[in-house]
Chains A and B, each alone.
Chain A
Amino acid sequence: MSTKEKKWQLRLYVAGNTPKSMTALHNLRKYCEEHLQGQYVIEVIDLLEHPQLAEGDQILAIPTLVRKIPAPMRKIIGDLSNESKVLVGLDIQPLNH
């Protein structure tokens, strides 16, 4: 399956390998594996390398997780340490209920 066909397209904005960013990425991967297995793709954008991309998605805080697809766009900022908040934020139905 190519990227375009995935149901969930997530983008994580980070700025270098800061602990917060690493935590966020780690948390995100964990939740996705758990709830969206096989249906997602995560794109990590390091703004230190691509600062010009910050404006497009209105990135302010780091780390920021953006749900590109499904629409509408959603944003979660922070290290994503609270699982239920992230799931609510992304509007993911938890599987193990």
Chain B
Amino acid sequence: MAHQINNDVVLQERVLKKVQTGISGLDEITGGGIPAGRPTLVCGGPGSGKTLLSTEFIVRGITEFNEPGVFVTFEEKTEELTTNVASLGFDLQGLQSAGLLKIDHVHVDRDEIQETGEYDLEGLFIRLGHAIDTIGAKRVVLDTVESLFSGLQDRFILRAELKRLFQWLKEKQVTAIVTAEKGVDTLTREGLEEYVSDCVILLDQRVTDKIATRLLRIVKYRGSVHGTNEYPFLIDEEGLAVLPVTSLKLENTVAQERVPSGIPSLDKMLGGNGFFKGSSILVSGTSGTGKTSIAACFANEACSRGESCIYFAFEESPPQIIRNMRSIGIDLEPHVKSGLLHIHASRPTLYGLEMHLVTIHKMVKTRKPSTVIIDPVSNLTTVGTVSEVKSMLTRLMDFFQNEGITVLMTALNTPDRELDQSISSLVDTWLLLKDMETNGERNRGMYIMKSRGMKHSNQVREFVITDKGLELVDVYMGPEGILTGSARVAQQLQEETEKVLRAQAASRKEMVVERRRRVLEAKIAGLREEFESMQEELNRTYTEEDLKSEIQKDNRSRLARNRHS
């Protein structure tokens, strides 16, 4: 029973104990680093970055985690290694003299060595043990242990000894990285993955369209949850950077706060307040529809609020953007001078998608902007397929959302509209700019394809770029459809004329009616008079009749009285 409990404790310790490599991104995808006190196998083809990864593991161990390290190199000489990584800012020499690092170059040359009879690699163990004990190393790298196979002949002994070596490393309680060449069909040429079974990392480099992408995959990580994807990584002046493809947890908190777009009439279309803070906006349209203008306007607005913004330009250079935007009344220069706006221009073909992704990542991490502009994302398809670009953007969006950054991307519509269709599902708001070609002129129309979580206008608006900025005006719905540009102006004028004419016509009619009314009124008065005189006559007749009958009555009574008397 006690034994059982003990086992559980051991198991739990094994599950939980990890050592941070200090390599950007790698600790995230491994959920905290590589197994502590155990060897990890890093395999990959030539030039895949094995040596660099292991060097960085050692150097970061010393500089960031205060863990001295031993680097056993089987291929490169100490001086070569030192020079090679000096460009990454790793000062191996300094660390060595400070007693925190020990580089041991194990040189095996088949021509120099004769083999006869039984031997073992105790010498290597002693060397390594001595190095570990001298500086109190916690980390060990063996790069590339397979070189032994080319130097020594007896494979049987070598295999047995390597197996013993890995066991010995475990007993030594050092966290080790053992590198190995990738085999044709196997992870390593000599099948070392059989001996190092806790954690295996595979590095790969793939070239598509002359652009190389480095990829890292955790093939195996016993007793630990880990990302199983291929993670792009790159090597730049700061070492290795692995990018988690995406957490895809969709657990990001969302803001209710709104940010104005810089175009009041557009804000009105978006329920009056603009975009959601931390949301993603796609502005797509054919060329010359004003995508960059909208982007610049948004950047300008953010900077005017005193917020920082990074503008990734894949088409135009910073001075070009500044000049062009000034012509429509947007002056970005003061923002650039004040440091709020940073325009980062680069040709998409300069490097692979991943490098772009990492560049964006890094700049955003260091500058911490509130707003990011990518203009245009569609240019990235020159260095990757649509699905690759989409996958990259998914990761980017995820990252921006995590950081609460509002991002506005522009995309050039190709005739098949492949890209914007496919990335539209990623974004929260999609503004579509359209050419409207009528009567020999071209005008810009804009409508909101979607805007998640807000009431928005369903109207097509004409998008007018003036030297004072951008504006959206209501389009005219004429009998022949939507009217824009001078047709709209003409329609407006026509309507105004009609109004005046209508007003005049109305007043003329009014006069006629008035006259008729007066005539009628006069007639009515005449008739009434006639009626009154008839009435009067009638009354007179009545009175005469009454009088007559009274006189008759009177006469009769008088006559009667005369007769009686």
Contacts and interface: CB of A to CB of B under 8 A. Distances in A.
Contacts of A78: 115-119
A74 B126 CA distance: 21
Interface residues of A, number: 33
A75 interface: yes
Interface in A8-34: 13, 15, 18, 20, 23-24
A82 B112 contact: no
B104 to A, nearest CB: 6
Interface string A69-80: 000011111111
B107 interface: yes
B104 A89 contact: no
B103 to A, nearest CB: 10
Nearest to B108: A60
Contacts of A55: 104, 127
B113 A20 contact: no
Contacts of A13: 123
A54 B116 contact: no
B120 A20 contact: yes
B320 interface: no
B119 A48 contact: no
Interface string A42-76: 00000110011011001111111000000001111
A58 B118 contact: no
A86 B114 contact: yes
A48 B126 contact: yes
A96 B330 CA distance: 99
A74 B112 contact: yes
Contacts of A60: 106, 108, 121, 123-124, 127, 148, 152
A88 interface: yes
A5 to B, nearest CB: 26
Nearest to A46: B126
Given A51-B129, A52-B130, A58 B106 contact: yes
A81 interface: yes
B130 A54 contact: yes
A45 to B, nearest CB: 10
Contacts of B115: 76-78, 85
Given A76-B113, A85-B114, A86-B114, A59 B119 contact: no
Interface in B7-61: none
A47 B121 CA distance: 12
Contacts of A74: 112, 114
A78 B279 CA distance: 69
B122 interface: yes
A94 B116 CA distance: 17
A81 B123 contact: no
B250 to A, nearest CB: 53
Residue in B124, B127, B129 whose Cβ sees the most chain A Cβ within 10 Å: B127
Given A54-B130, A58-B106, A64 B123 contact: yes
Interface in B109-150: 112-124, 126-127, 129-130, 148
A77 B7 CA distance: 42
A20 B119 contact: yes
Interface string B147-164: 010001000000000000
A54 B127 contact: yes
Given A55-B104, A85-B114, A61 B126 contact: no
A14 to B, nearest CB: 9
Given A51-B129, A54-B127, A58-B106, A86 B116 contact: yes
Nearest to B123: A59
B114 A15 contact: no
A24 to B, nearest CB: 8
A85 B116 contact: yes
Residue in B115, B116, B127 whose Cβ sees the most chain A Cβ within 10 Å: B116
A95 B152 CA distance: 30
Contacts of B121: 60-62
A62 B116 contact: no
A42 to B, nearest CB: 17
A20 B117 CA distance: 9
Contacts of B117: 20, 23-24, 78-82
A58 B127 CA distance: 9
Contact of A51 (B106, B107, B119, B130): B130
A30 to B, nearest CB: 13
B463 to A, nearest CB: 73
Contact of B116 (A15, A18, A81): A81
Contacts of B129: 51
Contacts of B123: 13, 15, 47, 54, 59-62, 64
Given A61-B120, A79-B116, 6 more contacts: A47-B123, A51-B126, A60-B124, A62-B121, A73-B112, A82-B117
Top 4 A-B pairs, shortest CB-CB distance: A89-B114, A51-B130, A79-B117, A78-B117
10 contacts: A18-B122, A58-B106, A59-B127, A61-B120, A61-B121, A61-B124, A62-B123, A76-B114, A78-B115, A89-B114
